[in-house]
Amino acid sequence: MKTTFTALALALATTGAIAATPFPGAPSPTTSMERELDRQLDKFVTYPLLERTHLMDGEVLVSFVIDTEGRVKVISANSENTALCEYVLRMLAKVDIGDNPDGLWKTTHVRFSFHPEA
């Protein structure tokens, strides 16, 4: 009888612990929008191989938010290389992550670093 009671108590305790773990559920919309932003940045903002008219090396520091339509709204962009800065701004204008119905987005700061491969 004691063995049966102990086995039953152990089974209930273990089952209860498993049932109490939270279900991960679907990702939040913000997380999926951030992933889409990363994907779009990787797609559009690459080393400018075809821009041979200017030296396209350096860094561009950009601060931006995403509007309700999912487009990038640049707050500031700084670089010592103005041609490179203009290139980055043109590429950011192509980014569209889809609707952002809440219109909420924290200011994102990104450092784009462009150096040719050796």
Q: What is the pLDDT of residues 37-57, one digit of tens each?
A: 999 999 999 888 776 667 888
pLDDT at 32 exceeding the cut of 80: yes
Task: Supply the pLDDT for residue 49.
Answer: 77
Which helix (H) or strand (E) segment holds residue 58: the answer is strand 58-66
Q: How many helices (H) and strands (E) does the chain have?
A: 3, 3
Mean pLDDT of 73-97: 96
Provide the pLDDT for residue 87. Answer: 94
Secondary structure of residue 109 in the 3-state scheme: strand
CB contact at 8 A, 61 and 78: yes
Its pTM surpasses 0.75: no
Q: Which residues contact 62 (CB under 8 A, 6 or more apart)?
A: 74, 76, 77, 78, 88, 89, 92, 109, 110, 111, 112
Buried b (16+ CB within 10 A) or exposed e, 17-40: eeeeeeeeeeeeeeeebbebbeeb
Amino acid 81: pLDDT: 93
Query: In CATH, what is the architecture of 29-114?
Result: 2-Layer Sandwich (3.30)
How many angstroms separate the CA atoms of 38 and 85, rounded? 19
- Compute the mean pLDDT over every residue in the chain, rounded to the nearest whole number: 82
Q: Has residue 16 got a pLDDT over 60?
A: no
The answer on pLDDT for 62 being more than 90 is yes
Residue with the two structure tokens 């670093």: 113
pLDDT of 31 strictly over 70: yes
C-alpha distances in Å from residue 61, one per residue of 28, 75, 93: 28, 11, 16
